[in-house]
Amino acid sequence: MLRTRVLVALFGVPLGVGLIILGSPYYSVALGLVALAALHEYYTLVRPYRPNLLVGYLLAAGALTATHFYGLPGLAGALSAGIFLLFLWGVGGPIGDHLVGRMAVTAFGVVWIVTGVAHLLLVRGLEHGMSLTLLVVGATWTSDTGAYAVGRLMGKRAMAPRISPKKTVEGAVGGIIGAILFALAVKIYSPWLPVREALILGLAIGVLGQWGDLFESMVKRDLGRKDSGRILPGHGGMLDRFDSLLFASIAAYWGAVLLLADVTLGGGAP
């Protein structure tokens, strides 16, 4: 299992870094495929609740396309229009078909998964977007690795036993430290990034990235599932691999916008 995980990482990490460096359109297309794969895994998990797949996939594709071309206003506009479309479908559906629940699980997946992935597009579209994207992705995965390693070696106190029994307080601290150290490493090669802001970004990514991981664990435990899928050998599903980034990307985008005076909101493709 460990060997398989390492082999997948050895292939995936250079591919991910290369796509971030290349930028649009390759980066946007790759993230779109990731988002749709993760959304498909989510809809498979909640299949008993009968989500409207057509509406969900159209809403996801529309939101990501609008984000690519128009940035944050495009994302907000596409989500608003998509939710309105969902309501129109609900009004036209048969009464007694659990329409409220079906609309809820359909929209929930888009808001959770697509919004997080869209913020990775938004980060790449900022000034210094390539470095900031490498920071958020690298700090998130360093946090995951640090939390796992420290938890295995030193973990004693369970952090959220009802959601994820193997996660420990010590592991969480190790993950946060790992994210901060990675952010500081990026700062060394980024003269535009002050030390204080790098520390804050690393802290925010370390905390919210792990919260995103716990959030997905909560969803799976509530639905009685261990993994979201098997598309990535040794890692589970696409949602299992990118769950931390869904929250960390939002923290990184708004942290960069609020903390760094020389970034711009961006209006289109990175």
pTM of the full structure: 0.91
Q: Given this model, what pLDDT does residue 1 score?
A: 46
CA neighbor of 181 nearest in space, from 139, 132, 147, 242 = 139
Q: How far is CA 53 from the centre of its chain?
A: 21
Contact 126, 264 (CB under 8 A): yes
Q: Which residue has the higher pLDDT, 261 or 88?
A: 88
pLDDT 10s digits, 156-197: 888 888 888 888 999 999 999 999 999 999 999 999 999 999
Residues β-bridged to residue 158: 168
pLDDT 10s digits, 5-54: 555 556 667 888 899 999 989 999 999 999 999 999 999 999 999 998 99
Torsion of CA 110, 108, 165, 248, to 10 degrees: 40
